[in-house]
Chains A and B, each alone.
Chain A
Amino acid sequence: MTHAAGPPRPAAAIGRTRAISRFILKRIGLALLTLWLLSVLIFLGGHLLPGNVGRAMLGPFADQQAVDVLNHQMGTDRPLLVQYGDWVAGFLTGDLGDSYAYRAPVADFLGPALLNSAKLAAVAFVLVVPLGILGGVVAALYRGRPTDRILSVVGLSATVVPEFVSGILLILLFGVTLRWFPISATWDEGAGVLTQLYHLILPAIPLVLILFGYIARMTRAGMIEALEADYTRTAILKGQTYARVIWRHVLRNALLPTISVIATQTVYLIGGLVVIEILFHYQGIGSLIYTAAKKKDFPMLQAGVMSIGALFAVTTLLADLLYARLNPRIRFGDRE
């Protein structure tokens, strides 16, 4: 187990800074590469369609001539590379184009949808992080005993059940039978925060179930490692109470892996959002993308997926940097 090495010498300090900058740059570069690849994928996906953009907008019964005129007007008969360049330029300057299905700027729908999904994700996070950490801590404190094993199996089971399955069972139990919660997540215009929360609890639970296992497992591992560390034994020997030791030293170190897990699990969370928003009729980014895909509304689809990709890249980057900042190994210059 590592421990603080004391104030670094000047030469080592420069080396450390360089290592950190290299690390940061590498991470940022990776994020940018991911986004670029994503943009290519999305663009290709949208334009490999049998049938074309003009036809998709005007529908199957329009005159072919009208379709050709529209295609020319929209510039979709230009070479693919030119269209791609145009789209990227537009995206970077904030012009996301108009939706084919709604004949209105994509940005008008994207903003509110992202906000809605953020609310749902926030509720889920607020519920799962304390629960997961608690679960991990308890499992670690009782490690090896039945409580630990049970928590482990429960966590695993919750993680692997598809969101729509747990969602439907929850709807049936709490929404239809017990009538404790509404089965549609959409609230009326101008509803207050509490009403919104009320609508969001049921849809948030499947997300909580998916993430609980991961967070609990990481916390447990981190806790165990910390519990068996030198500094813990030192603190106990120094006479600090067990509870104080846990709170001061152990938890702090145990939470490190949890942060990175939260970042990586964001990916799965987004997939879950799509399914849950469909199931609970919620106007978030997930159902927006789904409807756009079904309607072949490419501007909407492309903008939606890109924004998710960007969000994910940023979240992972921040989480990585945060992890590096908090992890004494990286901070004090041990080479990765």
Chain B
Amino acid sequence: MKDDLRRLLRQPAFDIGLVIVLFWVACAIFGPWLVPHDPYADDLINTLMPPSAEHWFGTDQLGRDVFSRVIVGARDILTVAPLATLISTILGTALGLTMGYFGGWVDEVLGRIVDAVLALPTVIVALLALTALGTSMITVMVVIAFSFAPIIARTVRSAVLAERSLDYVAAAELRRESTFYILFVEILPNVLPPILVETTVRLGYAIFTVATLSFIGFGIQPPSPDWGLSISSNYGMIGGGFWWTVVFDSLAIASLVIGINLVADGIEGLRHD
């Protein structure tokens, strides 16, 4: 483990990614205490002011300080995306373990369903969920879990197939251990590494998806300074020249997504060596 970490840290791409991610995590945790202005306080006299010494990123249409909002805005996306990824991982792992262990028609049937679900773009699934479930945070999590679990399941299944024929599994079966025990106590620990790698990669996609979905109008409620929500509320005004209300949030999303993916890429590369 330690060697792996050292190897990772030597790659410049990984380092840059890690710094970016840690920066935003710090913002998410400590943001409210570090920002110069209250991100929620309106100031109707000073709406839509361009960046200045007083307001580094300018103010939005309610006079709120954009800089403070961008910093604190990290919190929402860094709460929802990891949580949604976690749920997908749990579901996907359970699914993958089942498919890999039982094989046969269970594997075939589930496999076909998995393939069919994978054919659907997440955004389309989200739009369908929108009509049935409304635009709440729960919908966002359901959509992500539904879209990502199959991908994780596939990876887990492959890993399980490799373990399936090993002695310790046969031994457990001979001992008449329950299926649950075999799956989760015997096999699971041995397939953990690929699961962890896959989860990190999925986290990158989850952040991408949560940002896109909140831009489209899902989930997060005002007055949250969430980046996707801010961009969604303000992009209609860029024609009028009010660029600061969207640029900084956009750059924040871009940097976070790139950061996570550089980290995930590094970890994934490690496994393939």
Residues on A close to B: CB < 8 A?
30, 33-34, 37-38, 41-42, 44-46, 48-49, 149, 153, 156-157, 159-166, 168-169, 171-172, 176-177, 183, 267-268, 270-271, 274-275, 278-279, 289-290, 293-294, 296, 298, 301, 305, 308-309, 312-313, 316
Contacts and interface: CB of A to CB of B under 8 A. Distances in A.
Contact of B131 (A171, A177, A270, A293): A293
A268 B112 CA distance: 20
A309 to B, nearest CB: 7
Contacts of A271: 121-124, 212
Majority secondary structure, B binding face: helix
22 contacts: A37-B117, A38-B116, A46-B131, A156-B262, A157-B261, A161-B257, A161-B258, A162-B212, A162-B257, A164-B211, A165-B253, A169-B251, A172-B247, A267-B121, A270-B121, A270-B123, A274-B216, A275-B212, A293-B131, A294-B217, A301-B128, A305-B124
A267 B119 contact: yes
B187 interface: no
Interface in B206-252: 208, 211-212, 215-217, 231, 235, 238-239, 241, 243, 246-247, 250-251
A48 B116 contact: no
Contact of A38 (B120, B132, B239, B243): B120
B212 A313 contact: no
B130 interface: yes
B239 to A, nearest CB: 7
A163 B120 contact: no
A275 B122 contact: no
Given A38-B116, A162-B208, A169-B247, A45 B121 contact: no
Majority secondary structure, A binding face: helix
A135 B257 CA distance: 22
A176 B241 contact: yes
Size band of the interface chain B makes with A: 35 or more
B81 to A, nearest CB: 12
A176 B215 CA distance: 21
Interface string B51-88: 00000000000000000000000000000000000000
Contact of B130 (A177, A294, A309): A294
Nearest to A268: B121
Contacts of B215: 162, 164, 275
A162 B253 contact: yes
A301 B131 contact: yes
A157 B258 contact: yes
B254 interface: yes
A289 B127 contact: yes
A316 B128 CA distance: 22
Contacts of B15: none
Contact of A183 (B217, B239, B254): B239
B119 A34 contact: yes
A319 to B, nearest CB: 13
Interface string B163-192: 000000000000000000000000000000
Given A156-B265, A177-B243, 20 more contacts: A34-B115, A37-B113, A38-B116, A38-B119, A42-B128, A44-B132, A46-B132, A157-B262, A160-B260, A161-B257, A163-B212, A164-B211, A166-B254, A168-B250, A183-B239, A271-B124, A294-B130, A296-B131, A305-B127, A312-B119
Contacts of B115: 30, 33-34
